[in-house]
Amino acid sequence: MTAAAFPDALPDDATLTEAGLPAQRPRGRILLIACGALAREILALRAANGWDHMDLTCLPAKLHLYPDRIPDAVARVVEDNRDSFESIFVVYADCGTGGRLQARCAELGVEMVPGPHCYAFFDGNAAFAARADDEMTAFYLTDFLVRQFDAFVWRPMGFDRHPELIGMMFGNYEKLIYLAQTDDPALDARARDCAARLGLAYERRLTGYGDLATALARQA
């Protein structure tokens, strides 16, 4: 008799694979593949809930400037790590990919956070959708975007060099809504300043982590 006839006698995953049987993945370990803009929030939730079995890897937040690149970038990380984790969860919403990220995740057999973007799942997808008609003229910021306003809004849109573009690009907006994940007076003050720089009225809405917390809890 050969060892392949008795799988229980095989000593390790490498031999199992050579024998034509699937290598076993580390039991219970979950890989979160996330947008870098969500790293702080995911780490806070992981620490608060003791989700030590969840590992986090982040793709650059600036991929949002090129959403067509997100599906391929996520797919590469999934393929590179598939055999090292029991499961993989993609912590992106659609994020401007026009459904392509959802389709790619379905092909890969991995789940992702539901929703059109992080504004919606922080606010709660259902609540955000219900307010959509009333907030068509709102521009949203999260904790991350308040901190990184210059890097992700001000400079990429050219406002540092051509302030006259502000009126052209934001002329149809009426207010800036800060969807706050944390109750931080310093961030509130910075968000107010962002609104003033864009010439918009200001509103702060404390959302906490919204549907992101729910989605991660289900995976955990």
Say whether pLDDT at 14 is over 80.
Answer: no
Per-residue confidence at 204, pLDDT binned at 50, 70, 90?
Answer: very high
Domain end point (choices 80, 113, 146) = 113
Give the torsion sign (CA, 39, 141, 94, 125): positive
76 and 155 both lie in a single domain: no
Whole-angstrom distance, CA of residue 181 vs CA of residue 188: 11
Whole-angstrom distance, CA of residue 74 vs CA of residue 58: 10
Pair 92, 39: CB distance under 8 Å: no
Whole-angstrom distance, CA of residue 20 vs CA of residue 2: 13
Is 219 among the domain residues?
no
50 and 126 both lie in a single domain: no
pLDDT digits (tens, 9 = 90+) for 123-134: 999 999 999 999
176 and 200 both lie in a single domain: yes
Classify residue 68 by its DSSP letter.
G
List, as one string, the DSSP characters of 122-133.
HH-HHHHHHTTT
Q: What is the mean pLDDT of the chain?
A: 89
90 and 65 both lie in a single domain: yes
Is 52 among the domain residues?
yes
pLDDT value at residue 26: 58
Give the torsion sign (CA, 7, 10, 13, 17): negative
Pair 54, 30: CB distance under 8 Å: yes
Domain end point (choices 113, 132, 162) = 113
pLDDT digits (tens, 9 = 90+) for 64-81: 889 999 999 999 999 999
Whole-angstrom distance, CA of residue 133 vs CA of residue 146: 24
Q: State the average pLDDT over residues 183-187.
A: 98
Count: domains in the chain: 2
- pTM for this predicted structure: 0.84
Is 2 among the domain residues?
no
pLDDT value at residue 27: 65
pLDDT value at residue 28: 81
CATH at residue 88: 3.40.50
Is 92 among the domain residues?
yes
Q: State the average pLDDT over residues 102-114.
A: 97
97 and 174 both lie in a single domain: no
Whole-angstrom distance, CA of residue 166 vs CA of residue 172: 11
104 and 134 both lie in a single domain: no
Domain end point (choices 82, 98, 113) = 113
134 and 188 both lie in a single domain: yes
105 and 153 both lie in a single domain: no
Q: Give the pair of three-digit tokens for residue 129.
A: 């959708």
**Is residue 199 within a helix (H) or strand (E), and if so which, with residue range?**
none
Q: Give the pair of three-digit tokens for residue 6.
A: 């008795």
Is 212 among the domain residues?
no
Residue 38's Cβ-count burial label (10 Å; 0-12, 13-18, 19+) is buried
Is 47 among the domain residues?
yes
Q: Give the pair of three-digit tokens for residue 183.
A: 């109750």
Instruction: Note down the domain range covering 83.
Output: 30-113
pLDDT value at residue 13: 34
123 and 92 both lie in a single domain: no
Is 168 among the domain residues?
yes
Is 22 among the domain residues?
no
pLDDT value at residue 19: 39
Strand partners, 25: none
